[in-house]
Structure 1
Amino acid sequence: MKILISEWIKIKRTPIRWLTFLTPVIFAAFIIWYFSLRAITVDTQISIFQAFFETWTTLVIPLGAGLIPGFMVHQEELAGSFNGFLVSRLPRRDLYFGKLTMLILLVLTDTLLATLALVIGLNFILDIFISWPVFMGAAIMAMIGTLPLLAFHIWISFAWGIGVSIGIGGGGILIAALTATSLGDKIWQFVPWAWPVRLASLVGAYLLKNIPSGFIIGQAVKGLIPAVILFVVMVIGGLIWFERWEGSWHE
């Protein structure tokens, strides 16, 4: 807990808090505004779900997965080329795991806040009925699919810096967008950047009411198993690597 409090204090004067709390509200407001200009039909809820989650998981998540850990690690690099960070009396694994845990909490908050703001806004501003369990379930599935990306990017940020992390995140946008289409139907379970959008979309299939639950669950398992395995591998690999890491890549 002390490590998490320390990590929270460290990001006080960084763009990270703004990205975490302002981005989801702005994004949800934009979706609400867009659909306020359109006629409300029986298919509006499905259209909102697709617009919100496809954009969030193919654009915001890949970019955020590169930006936020990059900023977190870059801040440590600026503070004496990691010297203050690495001379801490705390075990190396605790330092690394603390950063990763804070990163996960920030992105989880980001996604849930965006979804909650959307559901509340649609209900109270546009008076559109929303199946909030489906939307919140999709947010949770998207977050599970994001975990391996976060573990990967925190490792990349420590190893090669913020520029590489952001660059890979930018490439992830293209990969996520392509695998969200029919091009990814046969390979999405093997592509980490496809997991957030595909897993969220599977929950959204319940809104269609003509897709068997067995099919949805079977497809979800195909994505969840590799996502969990890769997350564990990335965490363990990152912890082992960090134990021997010597600091700034600029030296």
Structure 2
Amino acid sequence: MGFFYRQIKSELYKHSHCLLLPLHIILPLGVAAVFLSYYRFSSLRILEKDLLYTQFIAVAFPLVIGIITALGAEQESDAGHFQAILQTPGLKWTAHVAKLLSLLIFGFCGLTLSFVVYGAVMMLLNPGGMALGDTFIWTLVVFMAHGPLYGLHYWVAVVLGKGAAITLGLFGSVMSGLLLTGLGDVIWPFLPWGLAGHQGSCYVMSRFSSHSYFFYDRIVLSQWTLGFMLLIIAALLIVWGKKFEGRYDGDL
């Protein structure tokens, strides 16, 4: 357990000394600043503003995940074609899990920064809006819904390369947008790209009504689906990580 902790600590240190750190600070603050600037002059209701914000995050985040996981995988590829992972003492899969967990930690901190800055300023501008404590839960709902995508994108980035991971991220953003329309009314609980937008939106609506978050249609089903996806992806990553032998030079 101590060795695994040191692996995560090492990954966080590496991420802190490359492009990943400024990306997780500048991008969240930039998104919050753009929306808050627009909302100062917008006639939208508070509920509509919060829904628009969470849905934008849900649509944009798959592409961001694609870019982030691509950068994380390229760190290892550039440093001797994954030799640091291949030479890990003991179980090789722990190196992949540590890398993925470190990216998840950075992603959660970045998303929290964006939502908390947005929520705090909205509280000042609109005292009747969402409480800051609810903003933390809002962040957690949206972030956890993206958990399966982190695992999927990391695998694609390592096996197929950064181009494939970013392309998948772009596809995911398009899918997330489509699943927020009427096209996704039936199938969104079963697809990883449909979870964040709908779950985040339902949480926002629950804060402005007397209904519980779990009152909304298909939320319970989507939570079961999310849990199942997380378990399956975690198991597959461990099995794959045990057999990982690097990436061929011809891979993209």
Q: Same fold (TM over 0.5)?
A: yes
- CA separation in 2, counterparts of 1:143 and 1:10? 23
Q: In structure 1, what residue type is equivalent to 2:53?
A: F
Q: What are the superposed Cα offsets for residues 218-250 of structure 1, whole Å, 9 maximum, x if unpaired?
A: 622111111111111111111111211211232
Instruction: Report the CA distance between 1:62 and its aligned residue.
Output: 0.6
- Shift of the 37–86 alpha-carbon distance from structure 1 to 2, 3 Å rule, reads same
Q: Is the 8 A contact 1:122 1:129 kept in 2?
A: no
Question: 2:201 aligns to what?
Answer: 201
Is 1:114 aligned to 2:103, yes or no?
no
- CA separation in 2, counterparts of 1:74 and 1:106? 17
- CA separation in 2, counterparts of 1:199 and 1:72? 28
Question: 1:27 aligns to what?
Answer: 31
Question: 1:229 aligns to what?
Answer: 228
Q: Name stretches of at least 5 consecutive residues in structure 2 with no aligned partner.
A: none
Q: Name stretches of at least 5 consecutive residues in structure 1 with no aligned partner.
A: none
Secondary structure of the 2:218 match is helix
Question: 2:241 aligns to what?
Answer: 242
- CA separation in 2, counterparts of 1:113 and 1:49? 16
> Equivalent residues in 2 for 1:1-20 (5 A)?
1-20=5-24
Q: In structure 2, what residue type is equivalent to 1:75?
A: Q
Q: In structure 2, what residue type is equivalent to 1:7?
A: E
- Paired residue for 1:36, among 29, 40, 51? 40
- CA separation in 2, counterparts of 1:227 and 1:168? 19
> Equivalent residues in 2 for 1:46-195 (5 A)?
46-59=47-60, 61-124=61-124, 126-132=125-131, 133-195=133-195
Q: What are the superposed Cα offsets for residues 28-64 of structure 1, whole Å, 9 maximum, x if unpaired?
A: 111110011224xxx62112211210101111x1112
Alignment RMSD (CA, Å): 1.8
Secondary structure of the 1:11 match is helix
Q: In structure 1, what residue type is equivalent to 2:102?
A: M
- CA separation in 2, counterparts of 1:232 and 1:213? 23
- CA separation in 1, counterparts of 2:47 and 2:96? 40
Q: In structure 2, what residue type is equivalent to 1:13?
A: H
TM-score computed with the length of structure 1 as normaliser: 0.91
- CA separation in 2, counterparts of 1:73 and 1:81? 10
Q: What are the superposed Cα offsets for residues 192-226 of structure 1, whole Å, 9 maximum, x if unpaired?
A: 1111111101111214426576632x622111111
TM-score computed with the length of structure 2 as normaliser: 0.90
Q: In structure 2, what residue type is equivalent to 1:44?
A: R
Secondary structure of the 2:16 match is coil
Q: In structure 2, what residue type is equivalent to 1:146?
A: H
Instruction: Report the CA distance between 1:135 and its aligned residue.
Output: 3.4
Q: Is the 8 A contact 1:71 1:162 kept in 2?
A: yes
- CA separation in 2, counterparts of 1:214 and 1:179? 20
Q: Percent identity?
A: 20
Q: What are the superposed Cα offsets for residues 57-107 of structure 1, whole Å, 9 maximum, x if unpaired?
A: 111x11121111111111100011112331122421210110111121111
Q: Is the 8 A contact 1:49 1:135 kept in 2?
A: no
Q: In structure 2, what residue type is equivalent to 1:24?
A: P
Q: Is the 8 A contact 1:161 1:249 kept in 2?
A: no
- Shift of the 6–24 alpha-carbon distance from structure 1 to 2, 3 Å rule, reads same
186-195 or 82-91: bigger deviation:
82-91
191-200 or 128-137: bigger deviation:
128-137
